[in-house]
Structure 1
Amino acid sequence: MTQNLQITAARPDPALLDLPWDLPLASWPDDVLAALPRGISRHVVRFVRLSGRVIAIKEIGESVAYREYELLRRLNRLDVPSVVPVGVITGRRDANGERLEAVLVTEHLQFSLPYRALFSQALRPDTATRLIDALAVLLVRLHLVGFYWGDVSLSNTLFRRDAETFSAYLVDAETGDLHRELTRGQRNYDIDLARTNIIGELMDLAAGEMLDEEVDEIGIGDALVERYNELWEALTGAEYFVADDRWRVDAHIERLNRLGFDVGELEMTTDIDGTTVRIQPKVVDAGHHSNRLFRLTGLDVQENQARRLLNDLDSYAAATGQQNDGEQLVAHDWLRKAFEPTVSAVPRELRRKLEPAQIFHEVLDHRWYVSERAGHDIPLPEAVASYVENVLRHRPDEKSLLGLPPGEQPSEDDPESDYFHLST
Structure 2
Amino acid sequence: MPLQITGAPSDPDLIRLPWDVPLEEWPVHHLVTLPRGISRHVVRFARLSGRVYAIKEISTRYAKREYQLLWDLARHDAPAVEPVAIVTGRTAPDGSELDSALITRHLQFSLPYRAVLSGSVRPDTLTRLLDALAVLLVRLHLTGFYWGDCSLSNTLFRRDAGAFAAYLVDAETGELHPAISEGQRSHDIDVAHVNIYGEMLDLEAGGLLHPTIDPLAFAEQLVERYQRLWDELTEDEIIEEVDWHRVDQRVRRLNSLGFDVAEMMVRRKAGTSRLIVRPKVVDAGHHQRRLLRLTGLDVEENQARRLLNDLDSFRVSTGLRHEDEAIVAHRWLAEVFQPVVNAIPADLRRKLEPAQLFHEVLDHRWYMSEAAGKDVGLEAAVRSYVDNVLVHKPDEKAVIVSPDPLSP
TM-score of the pair, normalised by structure 2: 0.97
Q: What is the alpha-carbon distance in structure 2 between the residues aligned to residue 365 and residue 382 of structure 1?
A: 13
Deviation at 1:51, TM superposition (A): 2.1
**1:387 equivalent in alignment to 2:385:** yes
State the identity as a percent: 60
State which of 284, 287, 290 in structure 1 corresponds to 2:288.
Answer: 290
Name the CA shift for 1:416/1:109 in 2 (closer, same or farther; >3 Å): closer
Deviation at 1:242, TM superposition (A): 1.2
1:339 is matched with which residue?
337
Q: What is the alpha-carbon distance in structure 1 between the residues aligned to residue 75 and residue 247 of structure 2?
A: 30
State which of 301, 308, 314 in structure 2 corresponds to 1:316.
Answer: 314
Q: What is the alpha-carbon distance in structure 2 between the residues aligned to residue 110 and residue 133 of structure 1?
A: 21
Q: What is the alpha-carbon distance in structure 2 between the residues aligned to residue 179 and residue 300 of structure 1?
A: 28
Are the counterparts in 2 of residues 120 and 211 from structure 1 also a CA contact under 8 Å?
no
**1:53 equivalent in alignment to 2:51:** yes
Task: Give the residue type in structure 2 aligned to 1:41.
Answer: S
Q: What is the alpha-carbon distance in structure 2 between the residues aligned to residue 270 and residue 191 of structure 1?
A: 33
1:65 is matched with which residue?
63
Q: What is the alpha-carbon distance in structure 2 between the residues aligned to residue 54 and residue 391 of structure 1?
A: 27
Q: What is the alpha-carbon distance in structure 2 between the residues aligned to residue 386 and residue 80 of structure 1?
A: 38
Q: What is the alpha-carbon distance in structure 2 between the residues aligned to residue 400 and residue 129 of structure 1?
A: 27
2:219 is matched with which residue?
221
Q: What is the alpha-carbon distance in structure 1 between the residues aligned to residue 212 and residue 106 of structure 2?
A: 33
Q: What is the alpha-carbon distance in structure 2 between the residues aligned to residue 274 and residue 333 of structure 1?
A: 53
Are the counterparts in 2 of residues 263 and 285 from structure 1 also a CA contact under 8 Å?
yes
Are the counterparts in 1 of residues 23 and 44 from structure 2 also a CA contact under 8 Å?
yes
Are the counterparts in 2 of residues 249 and 279 from structure 1 also a CA contact under 8 Å?
yes
> Is the partner of 1:317 in helix, strand or coil?
helix
Are the counterparts in 2 of residues 113 and 400 from structure 1 also a CA contact under 8 Å?
no
Task: Give the residue type in structure 2 aligned to 1:173.
Answer: A
1:210 is matched with which residue?
208
Deviation at 1:4, TM superposition (A): 2.5
- Cα deviation code 1:134-184 (max 9, x no counterpart): 000000000001000011111111111000100110001000000111111
Are the counterparts in 2 of residues 119 and 211 from structure 1 also a CA contact under 8 Å?
no
1:4 is matched with which residue?
2
Unaligned runs of 5+ in 2: none
State which of 360, 376, 387 in structure 2 corresponds to 1:378.
Answer: 376
Q: What is the alpha-carbon distance in structure 1 between the residues aligned to residue 392 and residue 228 of structure 2?
A: 38
Q: What is the alpha-carbon distance in structure 2 between the residues aligned to residue 146 and residue 246 of structure 1?
A: 30
Q: What is the alpha-carbon distance in structure 2 between the residues aligned to residue 414 and residue 128 of structure 1?
A: 29
Are the counterparts in 1 of residues 33 and 405 from structure 2 also a CA contact under 8 Å?
no
Deviation at 1:411, TM superposition (A): 7.7
Deviation at 1:216, TM superposition (A): 1.4
- Cα deviation code 1:300-341 (max 9, x no counterpart): 000000000011011111100111111111111111100001
1:80 is matched with which residue?
78
Q: How is 1:23-422 mapped onto 2 (pairs within 5 angstroms)?
A: 23-272=21-270, 275-400=273-398, 412-413=402-403, 418=408
Task: Give the residue type in structure 2 aligned to 1:275.
Answer: S
Are the counterparts in 1 of residues 197 and 219 from structure 2 also a CA contact under 8 Å?
yes
Deviation at 1:11, TM superposition (A): 4.0
Unaligned runs of 5+ in 1: 402-409, 419-424
Q: What is the alpha-carbon distance in structure 1 between the residues aligned to residue 406 and residue 19 of structure 2?
A: 28
> Is the partner of 1:46 in helix, strand or coil?
strand
- Cα deviation code 1:323-374 (max 9, x no counterpart): 1111111111111100001100111111110010000000000000000100
Are the counterparts in 2 of residues 195 and 225 from structure 1 also a CA contact under 8 Å?
yes
RMSD (CA atoms)? 1.6
Are the counterparts in 1 of residues 268 and 275 from structure 2 also a CA contact under 8 Å?
yes
Deviation at 1:414, TM superposition (A): 7.9
> Is the partner of 2:394 in helix, strand or coil?
coil
Deviation at 1:255, TM superposition (A): 0.3
Q: What is the alpha-carbon distance in structure 2 between the residues aligned to residue 274 and residue 52 of structure 1?
A: 65
Deviation at 1:215, TM superposition (A): 1.5
Q: What is the alpha-carbon distance in structure 1 between the residues aligned to residue 108 and residue 66 of structure 2?
A: 21
> Is the partner of 1:40 in helix, strand or coil?
coil
Q: What is the alpha-carbon distance in structure 2 between the residues aligned to residue 272 and residue 78 of structure 1?
A: 36
Task: Give the residue type in structure 1 aligned to 2:227.
Answer: N
Task: Give the residue type in structure 2 aligned to 1:236.
Answer: T
Q: What is the alpha-carbon distance in structure 2 between the residues aligned to residue 302 and residue 81 of structure 1?
A: 11
TM-score of the pair, normalised by structure 1: 0.93
> Is the partner of 1:382 in helix, strand or coil?
helix
Task: Give the residue type in structure 2 aligned to 1:139.
Answer: L
Deviation at 1:211, TM superposition (A): 1.8
Name the CA shift for 1:12/1:357 in 2 (closer, same or farther; >3 Å): closer
> Is the partner of 1:266 in helix, strand or coil?
strand
- Cα deviation code 1:32-86 (max 9, x no counterpart): 1011112111100000011210001011000110010000000011000000000
Q: What is the alpha-carbon distance in structure 1 between the residues aligned to residue 363 and residue 116 of structure 2?
A: 22
123-132 vs 208-217, which deviates more?
A: 208-217
Name the CA shift for 1:15/1:346 in 2 (closer, same or farther; >3 Å): same
Deviation at 1:123, TM superposition (A): 1.9
> Is the partner of 2:85 in helix, strand or coil?
strand
Q: What is the alpha-carbon distance in structure 1 between the residues aligned to residue 254 and residue 365 of structure 2?
A: 30
Name the CA shift for 1:10/1:52 in 2 (closer, same or farther; >3 Å): same
Q: What is the alpha-carbon distance in structure 2 between the residues aligned to residue 272 and residue 207 of structure 1?
A: 57
Deviation at 1:121, TM superposition (A): 2.3
Deviation at 1:243, TM superposition (A): 1.1
Deviation at 1:412, TM superposition (A): 3.2
